[in-house]
């Protein structure tokens, strides 16, 4: 039974890493579609979303099976709890990648406004946060995870600045209302993407160091 339990945990971790890699690719394609005004990449993201959902179901079922068949404790229990939470964050990231791709299509001819609004800058920061969050889990690296946390405030500030900028632009030029509205929604998706990356970072710190990280503060388990 013990050997079977170890195999189950290894498979669970492997599937989380595979899902993380897939979601990472989805976000990479979505942000590239936005930055490069490439609707073909955007459509590819939308088509591949089903694969993310399949991993989501698989990992949930694995966690449920491990809980039913075993009585995990300490580090093993933390891994299963972290896996459930990280799986949820990754599934939401996959949905956000689709949302970004869907906005990239109508915005493909408005790259100047995208850059001027700083949403391209925001997408780069959020994209890097996701990459580091996934890497921190793959490498069991709580220090890398902690580096993500302060960047969430930076993205929040950008989201607010972008909204205020676009409101003023729409007042000055009503002709851009439609594309500005798309960018406001896009900015919100990127802000949520950063939130999910931050949550994964917190989960990795909990998994490896057994410490709960909330609002950039830590406490012992």
Predicted pLDDT of residue 65: 87
With beta carbons less than 8 A apart as the criterion, state whether 107 and 179 touch.
yes
Query: Per-block average pLDDT, block size 10, for the chain (221 residues)?
Result: 77 96 97 94 96 95 85 80 95 97 95 96 96 96 96 97 98 97 98 97 93 65 47
Predicted pLDDT of residue 32: 95
Closest CA to 157 of 123, 117, 191: 191
Predicted pLDDT of residue 215: 58
Q: Which residues neighbour 14 within 8 Å (Cβ) at sequence distance 6 or greater?
A: none
Tally of domains within the chain: 1
Predicted pLDDT of residue 221: 47
Predicted pLDDT of residue 69: 77
Q: Give the C-alpha separation, 198 to 46, whole Å.
A: 24
Specify the CATH number for the domain of residue 117. 1.20.58.220
Q: Give the C-alpha separation, 182 to 204, whole Å.
A: 33
- What's the domain range around 169? 2-220
Predicted pLDDT of residue 218: 59
Give the 3-state secondary structure percentages of the chain, helix then strand then coil, rounded to 5: 85, 5, 10
């Amino acid at each position: 039974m013990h050997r079977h339990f170890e195999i189950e945990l290894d498979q669970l971790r492997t599937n989380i890493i595979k899902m993380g890699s897939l979601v990472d690719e989805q976000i990479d394609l979505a942000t590239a579609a936005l930055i490069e005004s490439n609707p073909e990449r955007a459509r590819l993201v939308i088509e591949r979303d089903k694969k993310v959902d399949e991993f989501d179901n698989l990992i949930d079922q694995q966690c449920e099976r491990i809980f039913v068949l075993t009585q995990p404790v300490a580090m093993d229990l933390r891994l299963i709890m972290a896996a459930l939470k990280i799986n949820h964050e990754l599934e939401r990231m996959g949905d956000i990648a689709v949302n970004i791709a869907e906005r990239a299509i109508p915005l493909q001819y408005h790259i100047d406004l995208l850059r001027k609004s700083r949403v391209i800058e925001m997408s780069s920061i959020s994209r890097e946060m996701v990459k580091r969050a996934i890497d921190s889990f793959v490498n069991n690296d709580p220090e890398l995870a902690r580096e993500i946390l302060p960047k969430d405030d930076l993205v929040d500030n950008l989201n607010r600045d972008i909204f205020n900028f676009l409101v003023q632009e729409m007042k000055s030029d009503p002709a851009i209302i439609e594309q500005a509205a798309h960018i406001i929604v896009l900015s919100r998706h990127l802000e949520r993407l950063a939130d999910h990356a931050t949550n994964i970072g917190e989960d990795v710190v909990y998994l490896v160091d057994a410490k709960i990280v909330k609002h950039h503060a830590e406490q012992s388990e």
